[in-house]
Structure 1
Amino acid sequence: MRMRFKQMPNGVGSYAVSNATRWFYALFCLFIGLGFASVLIDGGLTTPSIVPLALFIVSLIGLGYRESWMFDPHTHTVTYTIGFYGLVKRETYPAPSIQMLEITHFVRGSSPHETNVRPRGRNKAMLVFSLHMQDDSTKDIEILPERTSGGRTEAAAQALAAIMDLPFHADREPDIYQSVSVRDV
């Protein structure tokens, strides 16, 4: 589930799972639920009807999933919320405890000390958007393939840093223009 940046009219920045994702899960849940109901009406609960039931339960879980980061410049806090439906966990970080917003890159399957590592096959170039705290710990906001980000995560991180008046650090510029090989075509 990809997270999206949104700035509210009151100046609060939100980085959260989008409503489009919830709509997708709601539609999927509706169609699977209708299919499961028709199976129950036709012949009752049978072994083949367990698969639609499992898909229905998974889609209900996906529909209720919540994950958001709220960057509030008025209260100088960053609030992280994660959970399902009403069962949520909230963590609040005061802005003075945050040293910077950080974007780091790595290649999956390689050592952090290796240089000139090329992403191949399953070892993709990855991107980590995180809060770097004053005590040198990090709170990861999002980890995703760099190609999926397409520069949007970096832009969101810069905008959130500007909203909160925090420093922003990226270990390198984003590779928006990726090399295309014959295998990709």
Structure 2
Amino acid sequence: MDNIIILKISSDKKIVISLPCEVLDLHRYSEIDIYFQSTKLSNNIVLYKSDFAIEGIRTLKTILEKAIKNKLEIHYSLKEKGIGYLCNEYFQDKTYLTMVKKNGNTFWVGLKYSLWSSKKYETWVYNENNKVVLEITPTYSNENDNEEEYVKFLNSYCTTAIEIIEKEVALQWIEKCNELLKIMEKND
């Protein structure tokens, strides 16, 4: 069954897109799962869970197209503490974060680098030193608003993965996204 798409990062790391059907039967509203796999990790990291194929694939294509043109240079305000740490602060409505205005709306500067979200992880793509960076960060997912638990989470906070995506690899991923988008368009 041809229902797995592999986006290779390196010999021991990859992004896996799990389809609910054969690739050629994919529809825009088919629900897909996306994982990060590494030989150094005992479990897959869930990046995108049971969500629409069109959203996950199109978002990947769009953000990679910007990144290979160096249009996603990481904002200086995100460098010291890190994008994932600050994202958790954003979710907690902290007011010290750097906000930007665009088209009359105000939003946290880190959101422009957001690729995918799942219950426990955020996935980011940005440029740093003319490189394309894929970063996976944990999110505080405790349903109750326990400040003490949140502080414990922050004190032990650690980025899950930071990977440099070579330009040639990013171009291959974009090509694969285009193939999948054409299949979805044909099937809808």
User: With structure 2 as the length reference, what TM-score do the two structures score?
Assistant: 0.28
Give the structure with higher Rg (CA).
Answer: 1
Q: What TM-score, normalized to structure 1? A: 0.28
